[in-house]
Structure 1
Amino acid sequence: MKYKLGDFVRFVDEKMEGYVTRIIDEQMIGVTGDDDFEIPVLASKVTFVHGHAKLVGDERPEDIIEVDLPAGEFKSKGVFVAVIADARANSVVHLHLVNETSYQLLASVSTEQNKQYKGEFAGIIEPRSYAKVYSAKLADLQLWPKLLFRVLFHTKQNQPALAPLDVSEQFKAKDFSGAKKNVPFINQLGWMIQLDEAELVIDAQKLKESFFKPAEEKQVVAKPQSEVDLHIEKLRTDHHFLGSSEILNIQLTNFKHALDAAIVHQMPEITFIHGTGNGTLKNELHKLLSKSNKVQTFMDARKEKFGYGATKVLLK
């Protein structure tokens, strides 16, 4: 197949032109025109439009962009895959290997699908430069093959030898859920995925010690008072600025913490002062209490003291 995603072509038999947005098979391609409608057509029925302006994303896989290397500190980390939408056919994205390191990269990119491997790119990527290595349609993300990136690090300076990079990526929607960033050297917005991220090193000894902390280091749950006042003015000083739903959430959170603490400390009973009001808080408390298997029963607390504004909870 001589055509690649993003190529600008003209139909041989019709006065139509557009961008290649899909490679269907060795004979068929999909071409999208100004109306954003993709037309399947035989590759033999279109031709290149010569002299068409070349933009970032048009480079052939063998084209590698070199950037002048400024003098400075030697950088050993920074190998990225940058995914950038085609400047003219937004449905197509181009994957670039971006080398922010001071090493020369000897890179190979292959695709793997159904245990079949296909080489997509092989070449040298100079320090602080990039190369386009693959193109695909973002809407077909679930159909993308697995991409295999293999990189050797080379420099003529006296630097530590780095282990080869061998990374396989099956891109998913979450990889493109974050905000786009300006891609170095290309100066276009795109998603960046770092291939040489430092591995998380787990200190086995510290992990082991965390399981055997002495009792005094473990979290202590304070024993609550036998009467817990849930009036918002008792819980927050800024209650004048809170909405009714925020107030209810704060009251219920404090109720749950106090009830859990009472259960932990095996208290026989605890009383929650909720007031009368419109009855919303009281109803919510009673719903939660009726679902707890640690609650024996609950009832209105001493009416002579609280009226109908408190609930007494007996625990098992």
Structure 2
Amino acid sequence: MDLKPGDKVRFLNEKGGGIVTGILSNTMVNVAIEEGFVVPVQVKDLIVIEPKGAADRFFDRQVKVNLPEKAAAVPEKAKEPAPVPETSNDDRISYLYRQSGIRAIEGIYMAFAPHDQKWLISGNLDIFLVNNTGYDALFSFSLMEEEKGYAGVDYDVIPPYSKLLLETISREDIEGWSDGVMQVIFHKNEISPILSPLHAAFKIKPVRFYKETSYQDFPLIGLKAVLINLGDLAGQVIISSTETFAKSGIDPAAKQKLTALTPEAVIDIHKTAPFEAEVDLHISALRQDYTEMPQNEILIYQLEYFSRMLESAIAHNYTKVTFIHGIGNGTLKTAIKTRLAEYDHLEIRNAPFAKFGYGAVEVVISQKGS
């Protein structure tokens, strides 16, 4: 199917459509959709709508797009060389793949994607910061520098449902990118819930990048990658007023400074004793809206939460974490054990039967691997 800028199209597997604004390749085009975004879509997932055709009814409203105007013909000898555009941060940003039924938990991710998608454990990696939310994400990113402290690496704004290329690194650089902190402020121009800032510390073992099982399909970017779920949108606190601070007698600005200086580890919400935690992975314990989630999405969410809690426990010197997976059909338990096999210096054993039955696993963390 031949497409050209200006063609009106509808999505084959979803309601709605848009207008083609650019040709990326023989199989991919940019489409301006009704929400005002331009997204890359595969040609096979589009149907061209003929003028005044019956398929026009699939559009809920008109999509306004400013297409580039055709320049008047200029004699060949009068043409001047086109100026070389300056490099901008926009070159690092691209939209996520959100068509053809692709679904993912709304949140902020880091993705380490190998250039060679066939040989995942060799070659360079692209490091993406993924904003799978409807908010602009204002971020600040820091990395540990030779165990002396965190040094700022990058800061920018990522539009909604977009990814930003932080860096391309070689395998030799992996260790320097394995311990960091990401801070994100969520912003919208229109009236919307005000969300608390995201503060996510991560520490990932370099050995994981040399195991093919560490790489998983990430449809939002169309690549296999080592994923870090920095935080999901459902977990962000909605800030409604300053009444809570007023009642405490602490100035809100001072309270904010104190919190920023001493951020809590996410694993701390599950702490049961000094350096020990108990994490219930039943979806009903993690989200209130789980009844609307399909089974495959529930499993993805549970595994992402498990990984985030385990990484946080390792980074903050916890010695033992009990993960409650339940009995069920054993899918979650098997997936957890597969994920745990990617780590060194972890002792895996059954949790106390008297308390958990067969529904939990106990992870003992040796800080030799920190």
TM-score normalised per structure 1: 0.37
- Which structure has the larger Rg over C-alpha atoms? 1
TM-score normalised per structure 2: 0.33
Q: Which structure is higher in helix share? A: 2
